[in-house]
Amino acid sequence: MRIRARYWFGGAALLGFIALGISALEQTTVRYVSIAEAVRVGQRVQVKGTWVRDMTPTYDSRMNTFRFVLQDDRGDRIAVVYVGTKPNNFELAESIVVRGKVVGGEFHANDILTKCPSKYEGGSPLPQE
């Protein structure tokens, strides 16, 4: 009888860990959307775009807040607010991905990912010996 109880307990623990894993995976899965859809859904999403270079990004050191304007592939723009420091290569970025959600007409980002030009692309080939 004790052996059966152990199996039941082990099975229940295994199912609990599987459920916990699925829940964690669902929370980390964030879909890519346009700015218009991010405004519409009001949920945590990812938006890919470029920063609008004619609108200078700002960093407030007192509040530790970085702000810039993002433009997606459709041409829509939105102000992005990020609590944290500006990413190192922000000015060099070819594209930017922000994760977060729209609150009060601004995109409140939890993460900023920058894609910079690769130092391995576009260069002249090495001389052959």
Confidence at residue 20, expressed as pLDDT on a 0 to 100 scale: 78
- Output DSSP code: residue 80: E
CB 84 within 8 A of CB 68: no
SS3 83: strand
Confidence at residue 128, expressed as pLDDT on a 0 to 100 scale: 60
Q: For the whole model, what pTM was predicted?
A: 0.70
Q: What is the pLDDT of residues 41-66, one digit of tens each?
A: 888 999 999 999 999 999 999 999 99
